[in-house]
Amino acid sequence: MSATLYERLGGEERIKQLAADILDNHYRNPLIRSRFEKVSDRAALERHSVEFLCAGSGGPQTYTGKDLMSAHKGMNVSEQELIAAIDDIVAAMTKNGYDQAEKNEVVAILYSLKGDVVRV
């Protein structure tokens, strides 16, 4: 049996580092930084990001945050902002030494969620 994406991402500890690097990238990205600067509780955002990545990749964690549609409703996120966010995620994955196969799988999952994020 092949390893789950969660296992290939290294489990919760490696995903915690990945999530921290993703958020660091988002806070530095001029296209989306202002969205993240409005977040009042970065620790909660980071915790929910870890849960989301773990649960969404097949891990045992439970995601306790808002569903994507509710979290992004009224933000009018553009396609360009979504691409910027995905670029940040891929850059964080590269920094953390993930293979192209894992990057491709994560990007495919993220694009599949586009309808819950863009222009809602």
Residues contacting residue 82 through CB under 8 Å, at least 6 positions apart: 114, 117, 118
pLDDT on residue 29: 98
**Residue 2 pLDDT grade (very low, low, confident, very high; cuts 50, 70, 90):** confident
Domains of the chain: 11-116 (1.10.490.10)
Q: Is the pTM value of this prediction over 0.85?
A: yes
- What lies within 8 Å, CB to CB, of 44 at 6+ separation is none
pLDDT of residue 14 exceeding 90:
yes
Q: Residues of the chain with pLDDT > 90: what percent?
A: 98
Taking only the tens place, the pLDDT of each residue in 92-116 is 999 999 999 999 999 999 999 999 9
Q: Name every residue whose Cβ is closer than 8 Å to that of residue 34 and which is 6 or more positions away in sequence.
A: none
Judge residue 112's burial from the number of C-beta atoms within 10 Å of its C-beta, 0-12 exposed, 13-18 middle, 19 or more buried.
Answer: exposed
